Amino acid sequence: MQKLNRIGLTIILAALTLPTTANAGSWICEHDNLMREITVERETTYPAPCSVVYNKDTENLGSSVLWTAQNDGAYCDVKANDLAEKLKGWGWSCTEI
């Protein structure tokens, strides 16, 4: 009986840790009156395929897909984080949301 309870608990914990949205990892970056958004978009609840979308809406420049990955979802996370850090180095204030 105790083994059955452990298995049930493991299944519940695994289900709770699954991603619940197709988007994971977003940053809002601001500088003066400008705002940029960096978003990691996922087509499914799996880490890949994914893409990094860079949005410059306040400048009426829209969105651009900067990077994509078909097999390695961590690639998108790293590239998005690196871009946020690069913007910070240029004086932007970036907040992960």
- Residues 33-76 pLDDT 10s: 999 999 999 988 889 999 999 999 888 899 999 999 999 989 99
8 near 72, Cβ under 8 Å? Answer: no
pLDDT at 58: 86
- d(CA 29, CA 26) in angstroms, rounded, equals 10
pLDDT above 70 (res 6): no
pLDDT above 60 (res 12): no
pLDDT at 57: 87
Neighbours of 85 (CB within 10 A): 11
Please tell me the pTM assigned to this model: 0.72
pLDDT above 60 (res 31): yes
